[in-house]
Structure 1
Amino acid sequence: MSHKWLEWAKKIQSLSQAGLTFSKDVYDIERFEELRKISAEIMEEYTGLEMQKIKDLFTNETGYQTPKLDVRGVVFKDDKILMVREKIDDRWSLPGGFCDIGLSPKENIVKEIKEESGYDVIPTKLLALLDMNKHPHPPQPYHYYKLFIQCEIVGGYATVGVETKGIDFYFEDNLPNLSLNRNTESQIKLLFDFLRNSDKEAIID
C-alpha cells in the first residue's frame, strides 16, 4: 500500500495511546496528548473527515492499541461462494464483521452468517489470516487482521439482516461489485483455491 501518510498517522496514534496508557508523568501525558492531536490533524488534512469524527475514532479506546480482528465466513455451494449485499455501501462482501467480546472466532462467524444471510452453519476450517495492510484495501484509520473461516450450511434459508439487502452465490469468474473495505477480488480468488484443493494449508501473512 502507498498511503504513507496513513501509516504515519496510525503509528503516531498507536504510540500516543500506549504512552497515555502507561505514563504517570504529567508532562509526558501532555506530550502524548499532543501527538494524538497531530495524528488526528494528519487524518483531517488527507481524508477530509471532520476533526470531531476523527477524534471520536482515535480517542474512543483505552489501553495498549492492537490490531482489530475482522472475521469473514467462506461458504461454498455448487462451486459458488456466498456473498451478502451491504446496505452501507450497496456492495457485496463475504458475511462477517468485527469479533465480539466473549465469543470465540468460530462462535462469531456462526453468529455473523446467521444475522447477515439467514443460514445456519458450522465452521470447518481456518483458511487464512491476513493483514489488511498487505492487500489492496482502501485506506482506513485502524489496522485490521482479517480471519477467513470456511463453513458448511446445515440449515436456515436466505434472509436479509439489519445490515444486508441481498444474498446470493457467485462463481469465481462472475463476482459482483465488491465492498473493498471488507474483501478484495484477489482475496476471493485466493479462497477459491481452497475449493479446488481441500488439502491446501492455511495462509498467514
Structure 2
Amino acid sequence: MSDQWIEWAKKLQSIAQAGLTFSKDEYDLERYQQLRDLSAEIMSEHTDYPLNKIKDFFANDKGYQTPKLDVRGVVFKEDKILMVKERLDNRWSLPGGFCDIGLSASENIVKEIKEESGFNVNPTKLLALLHMNKHPHPPQPFDYYKIFIQCEITGGKAKSGLETNEVKFFEQNLLPPLSTRRNTQSQINMLFEFLTDRNKPAIFD
C-alpha cells in the first residue's frame, strides 16, 4: 500500500508542477502550491527522505515534469562485471549517474566511468532502457529511466573517485552488497545475459 501512496504523490506533484508552470491565475497558483506541498508530505511519510529535502527537490524542478535519466555503464572483463563502491552508502553499483545537460547518453557514460572507476572506455551497445518503478528499487520522489550501455575498456587503470572508494570486477554468482537505489540483483543478472548471448536484443519496458 505504501508504494501506491508514493505513486499517488508523484502524480499529484506532476499535476501541481504543470499547474505552477502554465497557470496565470494567482488563486490557482496558490492551490497548485498547496497541492505540491501535500504531495511532498505524502512522499516524506512513505519514504526515508526528510520533508525539507523533498520540498527542495520539488521547488528546484521547473517546467513540465518528465522522468529523470540515469545512465549506467556495463563493462565486462574475463566474465566479470565492473562495479564501484559508493561512498554514500558503502554499497556497490555499476558506474554511472544522472545525465548531464549538453552531453549524449554515450558521452555521459564515458565521463562517469572515468570519474568513478579510472577506466577509459568506448561505448559499444545499448543494452536496456528501464523504468525504475517496474523494478525492485527503494521508493524515490521522482520517476527515473535507467539507461544501461555496454562499454569496452580502451585504457586507464582502476582508481576510485570523489563518489566512490573501491573499484572491482565481480562474477555473477559472487556479487557484493548492492546499492539498490542504483541497480538491483535482477538487473545485474539480466546484464550478464548479454555476455552469454552476443545477439540478444536491447530490453525496454
Give the TM-score of the pair, scaled to structure 2. Answer: 0.97
Distance of 1:166 and 1:51 partners within structure 2: 32
Distance of 1:30 and 1:152 partners within structure 2: 52
**Shift in alpha-carbon separation, 1:43–1:110, aligned structure 2, 3 A:** same
Q: Deviations over 1:52-101 (max 9, x none)?
A: 22210111111000000000000000000000000000000000000000
Residue pair 2:73, 2:96 contacting (<8 A) in 1 also: yes
1:147-166 matches, cutoff 5 A: 147-166=147-166
Unaligned runs of 5+ in 2: none
**1:75 pairs with 2:83:** no
**Shift in alpha-carbon separation, 1:175–1:59, aligned structure 2, 3 A:** same
1:1-205 matches, cutoff 5 A: 3-47=3-47, 49-205=49-205
The one-letter code of the counterpart of 1:203 is I
> Greater CA deviation, 50-59 or 6-15?
50-59
> Greater CA deviation, 182-191 or 30-39?
30-39
TM-superposed deviation, 1:2: 6.1
The one-letter code of the counterpart of 2:104 is S
TM-superposed deviation, 1:48: 5.7
Distance of 2:65 and 2:53 partners within structure 1: 19
Distance of 1:46 and 1:82 partners within structure 2: 33
Q: Deviations over 1:171-204 (max 9, x none)?
A: 1111000000000000000000000001000001
Distance of 2:48 and 2:151 partners within structure 1: 39
Residue pair 2:2, 2:46 contacting (<8 A) in 1 also: no
Distance of 2:31 and 2:79 partners within structure 1: 55
The one-letter code of the counterpart of 1:162 is L
> Greater CA deviation, 41-50 or 118-127?
41-50
Distance of 1:97 and 1:50 partners within structure 2: 22
> Greater CA deviation, 146-155 or 24-33?
24-33
Distance of 1:153 and 1:49 partners within structure 2: 36
Give the TM-score of the pair, scaled to structure 1. Answer: 0.97
User: Match of 1:28, SS?
Assistant: helix
TM-superposed deviation, 1:46: 2.7
User: Match of 1:43, SS?
Assistant: helix
Residue pair 2:84, 2:166 contacting (<8 A) in 1 also: yes
Distance of 2:127 and 2:44 partners within structure 1: 36
Distance of 2:6 and 2:47 partners within structure 1: 9
Distance of 2:197 and 2:95 partners within structure 1: 22
Q: Would you identify which runs of 4 or more consecutive aligned residues in structure 1 move more than 6 Å?
A: none
Distance of 2:46 and 2:75 partners within structure 1: 37
